[in-house]
Amino acid sequence: MSKDGPLPGCDGKECAIAWVFAARSDTTRAALPEHSADGPNSMRDLLRHLTDSLERGGEPIVCQVVETRGSTPQKAGALMIVDADDGGQVGTLGGGCVEAEVKQKALAAQTDFDVWVVDDRHQYANPERCPTARRLIVGPIDEVLPALEISPHTYALIVTRGHGHDQEALYHLAPTAAPYVGLIGSSRKIKMIYESLREAGVSDEALARVAAPVGVDIGSQTVPEIAISIVAELIARRNLGPAALAGKAAISGAEPAIASAGG
């Protein structure tokens, strides 16, 4: 078991902290925290789903809210089980940024990506908060990213706490050798960022390589579907090459560019 860190989208007074662990065939009820015995997402239902998944040879991932601050949809103790094989879930952490980010991390951990956490706040990127991260880097974005060793095997996902930080991160990452640079956000926000970056000297060719809005278009309507679409896009770019991102450049107004870097 391991605690996961606070989530990038929860930087205000109201947020929740969750941890994640991969279940094994010897998982027992004693290994799980207490949870309500009532309702459709009762401990009984969660345990039944967990044992059924393990018996089928699945790889269920257990996620739980361990701390909340302010008014949140779910309180400490809320559980969610994510099926690594198909992205299905039982239970909920309350939806919103917490559930999306936790599910995204849970799925990414099962797809052979080494996760690096980059943040300018030590309270959000430290061994106690993110014990499973391969590497933790803390510092100002405009200092950390230019010094970061980015190779043709680096996949960068920009999910910061604000428009300005997204723009700063993309300014440094778009021109790099990374075969994948993804930016989360609305089409309107992305267009505004692109316009500002062009004025700052970032080329259309560099922007055409950016996956934005991030995620495979699967008609996502729910938080879990959005998380699955993001992880699917990472896998697609790694396995299929630049063709996996065909059409993503349309929002930038630039001609699509075929990246020379390999996955």
Higher-confidence position of 223 and 54: 54
Q: Which residue intervals of the chain bear CATH 3.40.50.720?
A: 140-252
* pTM of the shown model: 0.58
Q: Is the pLDDT of residue 255 over 60?
A: no
pLDDT confidence of residue 69: 66
Q: CATH second-level architecture of 140-252?
A: 3-Layer(aba) Sandwich (3.40)
pLDDT digits (tens, 9 = 90+) for 187-231: 899 999 999 999 999 999 999 889 998 888 888 877 778 778 888
Length of the chain as a residue count = 263
> What confidence tens digit (pLDDT) does each residue in 39-52 have?
445 777 778 877 88
- What is the tens place of the pLDDT at every residue in 65-74? 766 666 665 6
Residue 11 CB contacts under 8 Å (≥ 6 apart), including other chains: 161
Lowest mean pLDDT among 13-17, 102-106, 118-122, 168-172: 13-17
Q: How far is Cα 249 from Cα 245, in angstroms, rounded to an integer?
A: 8
The predicted-structure confidence for 147-199, as pLDDT tens digits, reads as follows: 998 999 999 999 888 889 999 999 999 999 999 999 988 889 999 999 999 99
Please give the C-alpha separations between residue 194 and each of 25, 160, 230, 252, 261, in angstroms, as whole numbers: 48, 16, 21, 6, 22
Evaluate whether 172 touches 147 at the Cβ level (below 8 Å): no
